[in-house]
Amino acid sequence: MLVVKRLGVLVSMVVLGLAPAGAAYSAAAPSATPSATPSTALSAQDRQFLQSMHQVNLAEIATGNLAKQKGTSQEVKDLGGRFVTDHTQLDQKVQSVASSGALTLPNKVTSEQQAVINQLQNVNGADFDTQWITAQLTAHTQAMQLVQAELTQGSDPSAKQVAQQAAPVLQAHHNALVAAAQSLGVPIPGGTTVAPSPGVSSGSPTRSGTPVTPGPTIS
């Protein structure tokens, strides 16, 4: 009986001696939940590009709808519809990247863009076609410069991808506008020729009014 009691005491001592070691291991065990890695913040250039490109798209959708409604020539009407479709798709990509980067986009066009929209709303007939083509050549030239700045100075991969996708679309639009201007006898304003971005064909239009380079598909 004495032997049994002594064995019981020894077992109790062993258990008590192990308890602190087990507690220490539990406290030192690393957490199973990995720490979240913060996303890369958009640079000032990326933010400016996305906000400005969004306003470009809003303006192009508005003026494109005006062309569909008020255009005299079928060329202007068709270009208006094409611009609405393409810039709506481009803006979906802009909004997606902005949302991922927690960037708030402006809810209206710039004052300069609004002035152009107002001017087009107040003209009709052949004058509308002339002023619409002229305004669109200027707007697309500025948009291509905006894209080129992002391609060379941007840092966020998603924002730069938006620029890469927009570049051939804008170039194709510009080519079609030049062709329409030549076909309808609209003078092409100076300073509206921009060298295409790397990898983007200039697609010089023919005098027949048909661009050599077809409009790209936006995926």
CATH number at residue 161: 1.20.1260.10
Residue 185 near residue 76 (C-beta atoms within 8 A): no
Does any domain span residue 102? yes
Residues 115-141, mean pLDDT to the nearest whole number: 98
Does any domain span residue 9? no
- Give pLDDT, residue 142: 97
Does any domain span residue 159? yes
Residue indicated by tokens 């803006």 = 91
Residues 28-39, mean pLDDT to the nearest whole number: 38
Alpha-carbon span 9 to 25, nearest angstrom: 26
Number of domains within the chain: 1
Does any domain span residue 29? no
Residue 203 near residue 212 (C-beta atoms within 8 A): yes
Considering only residues 183 and 14, tell me which one the structure prediction assigns the higher pLDDT. Answer: 183
Provide the mean pLDDT of the chain. Answer: 81
Residues 183-197, mean pLDDT to the nearest whole number: 78
The vertex-59 CA angle with 56 and 62, nearest 5°, equals: 150
Domain that holds residue 87: 44-184
- Give pLDDT, residue 23: 41
- Give pLDDT, residue 11: 44
Residue 23, SS3 per DSSP: helix
Residue by residue, DSSP assigns 58-76 as HHHHHHHHHHHHH-SSHHH
Does any domain span residue 214? no
For residue 166, the one-letter residue type is A
Residues 117-124, mean pLDDT to the nearest whole number: 98
Does any domain span residue 208? no
Banded pLDDT at 212 (limits 50, 70, 90): very low
For a pLDDT cut of 70, what percent of the chain falls above it?
69
- Give pLDDT, residue 3: 43
pTM over 0.75: no
Banded pLDDT at 14 (limits 50, 70, 90): very low
Structure token digits, residue 216? 């790209």
Lowest mean pLDDT among 10-19, 112-121, 144-153: 10-19
Residues 160-179, mean pLDDT to the nearest whole number: 98
Does any domain span residue 218? no
DSSP 35: P
Lowest mean pLDDT among 20-29, 42-51, 129-138: 20-29
- Give pLDDT, residue 26: 39
Top mean pLDDT of 71-75, 194-198, 203-207 is at 71-75
For residue 103, which of 36, 163, 158, 152 has the smallest C-alpha distance? 158
Query: Is the model's pLDDT at 155 over the cut of 90?
Result: yes
Does any domain span residue 27? no
